Structure 1
Amino acid sequence: MTSLRTDRWLHLDGTANTRDLGGLPTTDGGRTVPGRILRSDNLQTLSEADVHRLVDELGLRDVIDLRTTAEVLLEGRGPLRDVEAVTHRHFSLIPERGHHTDVFAVEEEEIPELPGGWQEAVLPRQVAEGDEHEPPAVRSYLGYLNDRSDAVVDALRALAHGGPGAAIVHCAAGKDRTGVVCALSLAVAGVPHEEIVADYALTAEVIEGVVARLAASPTYAEDMESRDVATHTPRAETMDRVLTLLDERHGGPLGWLEAHGFGAADQAALRSRLRN
């Protein structure tokens, strides 16, 4: 396995887990192209210098936000929302009550009737038959694919057909929801199984910073305090298992995508975002 390069990290003031999906090897001997798709944790606390670097230096034009409606509304308007050149798209990977189809259309108004704890807006996940004995993180990731396959595909389609310019996909920590969408994106680009797993696990290097940033937000503080850092740390075997199950059940990530409407044209468009 080719080791991941440390220069894939973007060291920003306002995030702890931002990196480029470029520079990864592909099965045909190529590499993904830097500066096309980035992955990150929450973007709410970006500094002015961060915004300048992302928008003016890296050409950021699309933000793919995978948080729930309640997270977006409770966290409020982030600094990138003031940049006219940047388009924001929202795709919640978790089933929820009262979902807004255009969450950013209501973000300037008073928060609509959200429960006292935002987690209560999330509907209980249904564990698919046969997945009951999988580890909790694996069940969660399979839940995104089973419960919100439409949102997963729509997020990938936004990445595939956005631009010109760079796109950034993020959730709160940039490891779970973001990890699944990025894993599928890399698979479409031809990045091999073991490199996708390694990219996912790279978040473990910065997890203490991720947890500290989330703990400073009232939206996430309770969840951060109720579990230790180890329980938030991504493990390679989690993504390895998810990819293995996709291989066994669908002939791989591309088979899952094809079965859910993300066909040859979409895959070619996404591949071109990450490959020359």
Structure 2
Amino acid sequence: MIHAPCRGAVVNLSNRIHSAYKIRTLTTTTSSRRSSICSATRSGSSHSRHLQSKAKLTQHRQSVALHSKSYTTASTTTTTTMSATTTKPPIPNLRDLAGGSSSILRPNLILRSAAPPTVSSPELEALNISTVFDLRSALEAARPNSSGDAGNPEAPEQWPGGPRRVHVPVFEGADYGPEAVALRFRKYADSHPTEGFVTAYRDIAIAGAPAFATVLNHIASDEFDPVAQKPILVHCTAGKDRTGVLCALILSLCDIPDEVVAEEYGLTTQGMAAAKPGLIKYLVSTPAFAGDEAGAERMLSSKPEAMVATLAMIRKEWGSTEGFFLKESKLSPDTITRVRQKLIISN
């Protein structure tokens, strides 16, 4: 369990995922997972269930703020991994992708974050991470990270004696940190910021398909033991865009509803809160934004609607998240089945 304080908020988040998942899968059949889920939510006979789901999503939004404060709120709750009095996470924007122990997904299997330190600490060691997947380019990995540690794109370990590090860049020779994404898609910042994110995230999904395959093949492998309590960590520079796309695709592959996937993505707003003022200051100093602080703010946002639109684009172009992984990442149906078996709690 990563977020010790505000444990109730984490459990609430987990219950939200579980409840929404059950609503979406009431009519699931082996012949058509996605079409059955859609028909269950869209049919007139499921109107009352839809209202219940909407109400629960509202409750979930309220829990997001509490969840995002889990490192900064004092609590008497203790866990085996983190001190209850920890004032900040050992890695910026760190969280468990499953959202907590009661989720439909097994907790403490996939962690996501911004770039982690390259020097060990008791808090990092307590996470018990087995493998770190670095989605940054070599250019980004060579820079000092948010902790000020010197970068080394060739390092086989995240820190000396620490977890194995696997460098799987989404873009081999390009900077694709949050400020770089904002600059690339500046034209959308004023009139249609969601379209800008969909365009950017489509680029990330296609370019990152081989890197994503490496992560999912590892999850499907015998090396990845879901009961060992040795999670993997996936990250990019800020843990926002490349990490956000991969994590959203994984959640969607496990049939987590779009609204819940988007809310998880939205947690990055709080995860990036400390770094955001500096990023905005940098952007408004560039010719592309020319002092437009509001435009910079929009393009650095992690609004749930951007991820909802991205997942709609994935289905429009590839039919489903599974279709995307089959075609672009060249995963086999058997690998996808094993990923689901590893991540989803069986009934």
Give the TM-score normalised by structure 2: 0.58
Q: Does 1:167 align with 2:232?
A: yes
Q: 2:305 aligns with which of 205, 213, 237?
A: 237
The residue type paired with residue 267 of structure 2 is L
The residue type paired with residue 15 of structure 1 is I
Is there any run of 5+ residues in structure 1 with no aligned partner, and where? 98-113, 126-132
Of the structure 1 ranges 85-94 and 70-79, higher mean CA displacement relative to structure 2 is found in: 70-79
Please say if residues 64 and 158 of structure 1, whose CA atoms lie closer than 8 Å, have aligned partners that are also in contact: no
Identity of paired residues, percent? Answer: 22
Structure-2 separation of matches of 1:224 and 1:169: 29
Q: 1:203 to 1:23 in 2, by over 3 A?
A: closer
Deviations 1:127-170 (A, max 9, x none): xxxxxx97222111100123342223223323443534211111
Q: 1:92 aligns with which of 157, 165, 169?
A: 169
2:107 paired residue number: 34
Structure-2 separation of matches of 1:207 and 1:8: 10
Cα distance, 1:174 vs. partner? 0.7
Extract structure 1 runs of 4+ deviating beyond 6 A. Answer: none
Q: 1:158 to 1:275 in 2, by over 3 A?
A: same
Q: 1:224 to 1:37 in 2, by over 3 A?
A: farther
Within a 5 Å distance, the mapping from 1:215-230 to structure 2 comes to 222=282, 226=286, 228-230=296-298
Q: Does 1:21 align with 2:89?
A: no
1:146 paired residue number: 206
Deviations 1:84-111 (A, max 9, x none): 35111111112527xxxxxxxxxxxxxx
Q: How many residues align?
A: 235
Q: Which structure would you say has the larger RCO, counting Cα contacts within 8 Å and 6 or more residues apart?
A: 1
Within a 5 Å distance, the mapping from 1:1-276 to structure 2 comes to 1=53, 2=56, 3=60, 6=66, 11=71, 12-23=88-99, 31-44=104-117, 48-54=121-127, 59-75=128-144, 76-77=150-151, 81-84=158-161, 86-96=163-173, 135-161=195-221, 162-164=223-225, 165-211=230-276, 222=282, 226=286, 228-260=296-328, 261-276=330-345
Structure-2 separation of matches of 1:160 and 1:225: 45
Please say if residues 92 and 116 of structure 2, whose CA atoms lie closer than 8 Å, have aligned partners that are also in contact: no
What SS does the corresponding residue of 2:273 show, helix, strand or coil?
helix
The residue type paired with residue 126 of structure 2 is R
What SS does the corresponding residue of 1:135 show, helix, strand or coil?
helix
Structure-2 separation of matches of 1:10 and 1:155: 27
Is there any run of 5+ residues in structure 2 with no aligned partner, and where? 1-52, 72-87, 145-149, 186-192, 287-292
Please say if residues 24 and 31 of structure 1, whose CA atoms lie closer than 8 Å, have aligned partners that are also in contact: no
Q: 1:135 to 1:229 in 2, by over 3 A?
A: same
Q: 1:185 to 1:44 in 2, by over 3 A?
A: same
Deviations 1:43-65 (A, max 9, x none): 127761321221xxxx3101111
Structure-2 separation of matches of 1:82 and 1:206: 23
Structure-2 separation of matches of 1:8 and 1:69: 30
Structure-2 separation of matches of 1:264 and 1:96: 31
Cα distance, 1:272 vs. partner? 3.1
What SS does the corresponding residue of 1:82 show, helix, strand or coil?
coil
Structure-1 separation of matches of 2:114 and 2:204: 18
The residue type paired with residue 203 of structure 2 is G
Q: 1:246 to 1:85 in 2, by over 3 A?
A: same
What SS does the corresponding residue of 2:122 show, helix, strand or coil?
helix
Larger Rg: 2
Across the aligned residues of Structure 1 and Structure 2, the Cα RMSD in angstroms comes to 3.6
Structure-2 separation of matches of 1:53 and 1:221: 35
Please say if residues 208 and 229 of structure 1, whose CA atoms lie closer than 8 Å, have aligned partners that are also in contact: no
Please say if residues 67 and 92 of structure 1, whose CA atoms lie closer than 8 Å, have aligned partners that are also in contact: yes
Structure-1 separation of matches of 2:341 and 2:91: 27
2:27 paired residue number: none
